[in-house]
Amino acid sequence: MDQNTQSPEALEKQKQFFERARKGVLQYLNDQGGKLNMSELHDYSMKKFLIQHQRFSIMMESFVGEGLVEFDSMTQDTMLTDAGRTFIQKVL
């Protein structure tokens, strides 16, 4: 079933799950010292939240776009920002 045929309730549940996953991935990054290689974050998101490659890319783009992380394309390292630390303190 694609998103165009899902009920509003199902879409809202998916949105809530994705937000919990975003917070969880950022919390993991914080717990690991605030800096990890992107492949380590990808592995964690896949194992913990079943977030596959395409959705992980969307997640990472949202992190960077919102200033929650900085990403070094040369080293593939992801660094948590102060805004990211603030985000994980929010109650979902």
* Beta-bridge partners for 61: none
pLDDT per residue as tens, the chain (92 positions)? 455 688 999 999 989 999 999 999 999 999 999 999 999 999 999 999 999 999 999 999 999 999 999 999 999 999 999 999 999 998 65
Structural element, H or E, at residue 37: strand 35-37
pLDDT computed for residue 4 by the predictor? 65
pTM, whole model, 2 decimals?
Answer: 0.87
Backbone angles phi, psi at 46, to 5 degrees: -75, -45
Which pLDDT score, from 0 to 100, does residue 91 have?
65
Sheet holding 69-72, edge to edge: 35-37, 77-80, 69-72
CA–CA distances in Å: residue 56 to residues 11, 36, 40, 87: 18, 15, 12, 18
Residue whose pair of structure tokens reads 């040369």 in the numeric block: 74
